[in-house]
Amino acid sequence: MKVRRLSFLTLVGLSLSLLLVVCGSAPEETIEPEPLAPAEATAESEPISPAEGGASEGEDDVLAEIVVSRTPEPTATPGLAAEEVAEFAYETGLAQISFLGLSGDDWINLGISILLVLGSYALGTWLTRGLLRQVIRRRSPKFGDVLLKAIGPSLRWLIVILALHIATARLAFVGAELKTFLDNVYFVLGVVISLLILWRLIDLAHEWYHKELAQEGRADELDPVLLLLTRLSHILLAIVGASILLSHFGIDISALLAALGIAGLALSLAAQDTLSDAISGFIILADRPYRVGDRIEIQGEGTWGDVVDIGLRTTRVRTRDNRMVIVPNSIIGSNQVINYTYPDPRYRIQTHLGIGYGTDIATARRIISETVRQVEGVLPDKPVDVLYHEMGDSAMIFRVRWWVESYEDTRCVIDRVYTALQEALDAAGIEMPYPTHVSNLQVGSETVDRLSLAFRGESPDIPQT
């Protein structure tokens, strides 16, 4: 397989070299200027005044102008390697040899350029399959193999394109127009391959993160977020690549960017609520204050139930009476959320109980504690707290607290605990008084006499004022 690829690249290099020879070079021809009549005026020559010289000097100027117009301008400054090649060709006599319109030193430079391209391919292969593989495998063997498999070939061809650019630029016999064309081709190919590498890296990051989430059991929750981030990254990458290519070819994109900015601003203002919901949904999915199946309470909205679905824009909550409440994520983000399931579904319940004054506190506390512990659904390994909480107007207020296995058993266990406490306290003769009020009325003796006469049916004497 390696031999086939190397052979294919060699053929490509040779074909490219022949293409350069045919398209960019041609045997130089000696142009013999036709004799011009003194009275004739051409478009390429200017009238010659007697002060500027004789007729022979004018003919020499015209000839020089024609030769200059036919001779290509220098396209490359000979470097150290080119100078060494020229000196070697001159010393060995190869400079006098011409084949297909190229001198001996041109053929030597062409061979060096081909070797440079082939060497870059070998260098890219060694980097991707040798050095980079060893470096990446030290950190993560599995991820390293997948990474090199995804971007290795593209990275190797990116190195080859860079070498092609250098190899073409050093050839002095290639025409300026052809060099410009090839430089544009190399630039476009380089940008496309670079974008392809980044595109594959984004896809690879998506796949790797998806596997990590699948192991944690969160793949279904964060799939919408991952898909959104991946698509946004692809769109941004495509925009950047198009901007680079357009700028390279001299196309002004400032007006286009301004139009896109105005359109984005108008869209963001029109979809402000939707964007707010989407951002809040992204934060909820990343922060995970609640999960699907959790029982939550949104205090500001009075919504209480089980989470059915978490989307980018809304969260669906099923209430206890089987009603589906669709709450925008922005509302959830701006309110306090109580999660009754996370991190532990076990739930502590408390209530207040009034005991009549004069009751022995220790006895009342013991009866309440033993009664609650014996109720079905109360966790036996958790404490039952009976605290003297408050001295009420007509009773001693005790705070009673116990634990249940799940928040779903709250109402059933409360019913059983209240029933058991009522029966136990009644059996023990402990009074649970209801609130009573004592009113003291203070009146004078005259008021008492008038009231007495009124009750007897007599008319009391009311003093005149």
Choose the weakest-confidence range: 250-259, 402-411, 451-460: 451-460
What percent of the chain clears pLDDT 70, i.e. is strictly above it?
70
Contact 58, 52 (CB under 8 A): yes
**Which DSSP category does 464 fall into?**
P
pLDDT 10s digits, 332-376: 888 888 888 888 888 899 999 999 998 999 999 999 999 999 999
CA-closest candidate to residue 110, choices 92, 129, 94: 94
Mean pLDDT value across residues 293-300: 85
Per-residue pLDDT band for 5 (boundaries 50, 70, 90) equals: low
Per-residue pLDDT band for 11 (boundaries 50, 70, 90) equals: very low
Q: Do domains 275-339 and 345-465 have the same CATH topology?
A: no
**CA separation, residue 375 to residues 362, 385, 388, 401 (Å):** 21, 14, 21, 13
Fold classification of 275-339 (topology level): SH3 type barrels. (2.30.30)
Residues written for the chain:
465
Rounded mean pLDDT of the chain? 75
**Res 24: pLDDT:** 47
**Res 289: pLDDT:** 87
CATH top-level class of 345-465? alpha beta
CA-closest candidate to residue 114, choices 239, 10, 225: 10
**Res 416: pLDDT:** 93
In sequence order, which ranges of 93-175 are alpha helices (DSSP H)?
104-126, 132-139, 141-169
Mean pLDDT value across residues 223-239: 84
**Res 144: pLDDT:** 64
pLDDT at 15 over 50: no
CA atoms of 373 and 384, how far apart (whole Å): 7
Reduced to 3 states, what is the DSSP secondary structure of residue 116? Answer: helix
Contact 416, 371 (CB under 8 A): no
62 exposed, middle or buried (CB, 10 Å; 0-12, 13-18, 19+)?
A: middle
CA atoms of 409 and 464, how far apart (whole Å): 73
Higher confidence at residue 32 or residue 351? 351
Contact 13, 117 (CB under 8 A): yes
The tokens describing 135, both together, are: 């470096």
pLDDT at 384 over 90: yes
Please give the model's pTM, rounded to 2 decimal places. 0.52
Q: Where are the domains of the chain?
A: 1-22+78-267, 275-339, 345-465
pLDDT 10s digits, 82-139: 666 666 655 565 556 666 666 666 677 677 778 878 888 788 777 777 766 666 666 6
